[in-house]
Amino acid sequence: MNYWLVKQEPEKYSFDDLLKDKKTMWDGVRNYQARNNLREMKNGDLVLFYHSVKQKEVVGICEVIKEHFPDPTTDDNRWVAIDIQAKHKLSQPVSLEQIKGDDRLQNIALIKQSRLSVLPLKKEEFDVILELSE
């Protein structure tokens, strides 16, 4: 199993929207590195959902339920989408400040590659974020 983090502006699509919808297609990614990360995602992989821009916090956990397929929002076959389903909301959101302040997360892609919308996580990083949410 692999671990990931996806970023979305909550004004566009929040984790609460995903909880209500139960599942969604993760599409519209137009960055090659983020696209490559989507291609690496496998069914059953766990994904942290991060509210970007204003809130800047990890708020929930999702699961990949459909591996990459052509992104239906474009005719360009270079781009892919995946399907994710909501698992649960974190008991407490984990802010970017908390992540930056934790020595165990100093090399996390969220800090090192902050512009990417789809990021890989190590299992240890995933677990630390869950610990911070308790």
Which strand (E) or helix (H) includes residue 26?
A: strand 23-26
The pTM (predicted TM-score) of the whole model is: 0.96
Q: How many CB atoms lie within 10 A of CB 24?
A: 18
8: left (phi over 0), alpha (psi -120 to 50) or beta: beta
Helix (H, G, I), strand (E, B) or coil at 37: helix
Q: What is the pLDDT of residue 117?
A: 94
Q: Which domains does the chain have, with CATH numbers?
A: 3-132 (3.10.590.10)
Q: What is the pLDDT of residue 60?
A: 98
Phi-psi region of 101 (alpha: psi -120 to 50; beta: other; left: phi over 0): alpha
CA distance 4 to 29: 15
pLDDT one digit per residue (tens) for the chain, 134 residues:
999 999 999 999 999 999 999 999 999 999 999 999 999 999 999 999 999 999 999 999 999 999 999 999 999 999 999 999 999 999 999 999 999 999 999 999 999 888 899 999 999 999 999 999 99
CA–CA separation, 115 and 25 (whole Å): 21
pLDDT of residue 115: 87
User: How many angstroms separate the CA atoms of 98 and 96, rounded?
Assistant: 5
CA distance 129 to 47: 12
